[in-house]
Amino acid sequence: MSPHSFLFKLWFFPFSLINMWRDWSNRNVNRNFIGSKLKISGKNIWKKGPDLPTYRYEFGSALVGDNFYIIGGVTAPTVYTVTKRVDRYDIKSKEWSRVSNHPYIIHHPGVTSDQNFVYVIGGNGLRISSYSIAHKYNPETDRWQRLADMPTKRCALGLAYLDGKIYAVGGADNKRPLSAFEEYDVEKNQWKNLPDMPTAREHLFSVTIQRFVYVLGGYQNDRFHNVNTFERYSIGRKVWEKLAPLPAKISGFSACIYGKSIFAFGGEQGWATSDEIYEYKLKEKKWFRRGNMPAARYAGAVISAEDGIHIVGGNPLMMSGKFSNDHDILIPQ
pLDDT greater than 70 at residue 321? no
pLDDT greater than 60 at residue 34? no
pLDDT greater than 50 at residue 283? yes
Tens-digit pLDDT profile for residues 173-187? 988 999 999 999 999
Residue ranges of alpha helices (H) inside the chain are 5-9, 15-27, 29-32
pLDDT greater than 70 at residue 114? yes
CATH for 35: 2.120.10.80
pLDDT greater than 70 at residue 33? no
**Mean predicted lDDT score pLDDT of the chain:** 89
Domain count, the chain: 1
What are the distances in angstroms from CA 170 to CA 61, 97, 209, 220, 311? 18, 32, 18, 11, 23
pLDDT greater than 90 at residue 148? yes
Lowest mean pLDDT among 63-67, 205-209, 223-227, 266-270: 223-227
Residue 32: pLDDT band with limits 50, 70, 90 = very low
Lowest mean pLDDT among 92-101, 105-114, 152-161, 268-277: 268-277
Domain that holds residue 198: 5-332
Q: Name the pTM for this structure.
A: 0.89
Following DSSP, what letter does each residue of 149-210 receive, concatenated?
Answer: PPSS--BS-EEEEETTEEEEE--B-SSSB---EEEEETTTTEEEE-PPPSS--BS-EEEEET
- Are the beta carbons of 307 and 331 closer than 8 angstroms? yes
